[in-house]
Structure 1
Amino acid sequence: MITVRRATIDDAQELVRLRGVLLTAMDGRAPEPGPWQAEALRVLRQRLADPEGSLAAYVVDKPDAPDELAACVVGVIEHRLGGPINPGGTIGYVFNVATDPGHRRRGYARACLEALLGWYHHRGVTVIELKASEDGESIYRALGFEPTAARTLRLTVVDQPRRP
């Protein structure tokens, strides 16, 4: 039996650690330590403090080390302009689906994702998006996610003043 729980502020540091695990898996190399970790920690602590807010994270604790996480998923609710498939414009976005390397292939990430999907359902969110890695795509498809025709583009602006 897998026990999934909603993450709290106390889990923020481990969520950042697992983000590093995810980034390593996606890029093939570990990310350099840097300000991204402190900023991620700050944002998680702030947003996890509001259980009625628009961010939720679900986690599974390591069975052999309860102060560490085996897996996690984070999701947000955004409010955009409506359209034909989503008249209300409310959309869920899933990210940071990560499992510690020593705890993979046990269903932990899937259990976390199912809990997050329940949170979305409870909040009335009917359109949910994510970006899938090759390793994760089969789990997402099994839960009903389908590819879209949308083409994602990104602009990265450098030398912007940092907000306080």
Structure 2
Amino acid sequence: MSVVRRALPRDAEEVLRLRQIMIDSMFASDPSVAWHGESLPTLRAKLGEPDGDFTAFVVDHPERPGALACLVAGTIDYRIGKSGDPQGMVGFVFSVATDPDARRRGYARACMTTLLGVVPRARCPAGTAHRLAGGGAAVRLARFPPQARPFAGARALSA
């Protein structure tokens, strides 16, 4: 059985490693990890804010002490309200990643279930999530509409 826990500042390097796995699987981008060093202080600070608008849940890797097997991370953002969502609170799950040698064990589903349990629908009734190939179960569990390209078709407007 997996034990899901909130990611802590000491997990920051592993969180970035799993995020890089997700990024590499989604985008034909620069595989460099040089940016990790610059990102670590901010990530550590965010992971140290248990009541902040950013949260991440993880599962420790069962075969590699000190490593993580899975990560689910997201934010709650304010958008100007609208009909059906006058408070304008929107959840966005932007990282769902499982170490390649720890897949198909239900870790992402367990992390997503935990994330949804701590972000009450009353605080954040709407949400979106990026979906990865082979990683749709956790997104479907969240009942978020999958957003492969959330800003596709968006155009810049000039004043």
Gaps of 5+ in 1: 156-164
TM-score of the two chains, using structure 1 as the length reference: 0.82
Inter-partner Cα distance in structure 1 for 2:136 and 2:115: 17
SS at match of 1:121: coil
Inter-partner Cα distance in structure 1 for 2:4 and 2:116: 13
The alignment of Structure 1 onto Structure 2 pairs a total of residues equal to: 153
TM-score of the two chains, using structure 2 as the length reference: 0.85
- Partner amino acid for 2:96? V
**Aligned Cα root-mean-square deviation (Å):** 2.4
Inter-partner Cα distance in structure 2 for 1:126 and 1:50: 22
Question: 1:9 corresponds to which residue?
Answer: 9
Deviations 1:36-85 (A, max 9, x none): 21233222111111111111100000112231000001111111110113
Inter-partner Cα distance in structure 2 for 1:99 and 1:19: 9
Inter-partner Cα distance in structure 1 for 2:104 and 2:24: 18
Cα deviation, residue 30, structure 1: 7.0
SS at match of 1:31: coil
Aligned 8 A contact 2:112 2:142 in 1: no
- Partner amino acid for 2:16? V
- Partner amino acid for 1:15? V
Cα deviation, residue 121, structure 1: 1.4
Gaps of 5+ in 2: none
Cα gap change, 1:151 to 1:72, in 2 (>3 Å): closer
SS at match of 1:84: coil
